Amino acid sequence: MVDAAVRPATAAQDEPRIDVGQVNELLLGTWAQTRREAREMIKDPAFWRDDALGKDEHRERVLTQLHLLVENGAVHRAFPKTFGGEENNGANIAGFEELVAADPSLQIKSGVQWGLFGSAILQLGTEEHHDKWLPGVMDLSIPGAFAMTEIGHGSDVAAVGTTATYDPATEEFVINTPFRGATKEYLGNAALHGVAATVFAQLITNGVNHGVHCFYVPLRGEDGTDLPGIGREDDGLKGGLNGIDNGRLSFDHVRVPRTNLLNKYGDVAADGTYTSPIDSPGRRFFTMLGTLVQGRVSLDGASSWASALGLHIAVTYATQRRQFDGADGEETVLLDYGKHQRRLLPRLATTYAQIFAHDEFLQKFDGVFSGRTDTPDDREDLETLAAALKPLSTWHALDTLQEAREACGGAGFMFENRLVGLRQDLDIYVTFEGDNNVLLQLVGKRLLTDYAKQFKGKDAAALAKYAVGQTAGKVFHGAGLRALGQAVADLGSTARSVELGLREEQQHELLTERVQQMVADIAGRLRPAGKDKVLGEKLFNENQAELIEAARAHGELLQWEAFTDAVRAIEDPGTKQVLTWLRDLFGLTLVEKHLAWYLINGRLSTQRAAAVSSYIGRLCARLRPHALELVDAFGFAPEHVRAPIAGGAEQQRQDEARAYYAELKASGRAPVSEKSLKATAKRR
Q: Which residues are catalytic?
A: 433
Closest CA to 520 of 471, 484, 563, 575: 471
Please report the sign of the dihedral spanned by the C-alpha atoms of residue 202, residue 207, residue 208, residue 213: negative
Q: How far apart are CA 110 and CA 87, in angstroms?
A: 18
CA angle (264 as vertex; 258, 269 as ends), nearest 5 = 35
Closest CA to 178 of 212, 206, 202, 144: 202
Closest CA to 601 of 498, 489, 516: 516
Q: How far apart are CA 558 and CA 360, in angstroms?
A: 10
Q: How many CB atoms lie within 10 A of CB 571?
A: 8
Q: Which residues of 94-128 are buried (b: 16+ CB within 10 A; e: fewer)?
A: bbbbbbbbbbbbbbbbbbbbbbbbbbbbbbbbeee
Q: How far apart are CA 456 and CA 101, in angstroms?
A: 49
* 532 phi-psi bin (left φ>0, alpha ψ -120 to 50, beta other): beta
Beta strands in 148-246 (DSSP E): 163-167, 172-176, 184-187, 196-205, 208-218, 230-234
Residues sharing a CB contact under 8 Å with residue 151, sequence separation 6 or more, in sequence order: 180, 181, 182, 183, 185, 248
Yes or no: say if 293 and 365 are a contact pair by the CB < 8 Å rule: yes
Which helix H or strand E contains 268, and what residues bound it? Answer: strand 267-268
**Residues pairing with 187 in the sheet:** 247
Q: How far apart are CA 559 and CA 508, in angstroms?
A: 11
Strands 247-251 and 144-147 come out as unpaired
**Residues pairing with 220 in the sheet:** 226
Yes or no: say if 119 and 294 are a contact pair by the CB < 8 Å rule: yes
Yes or no: say if 176 and 196 are a contact pair by the CB < 8 Å rule: no
Q: How far apart are CA 60 and CA 672, in angstroms?
A: 60
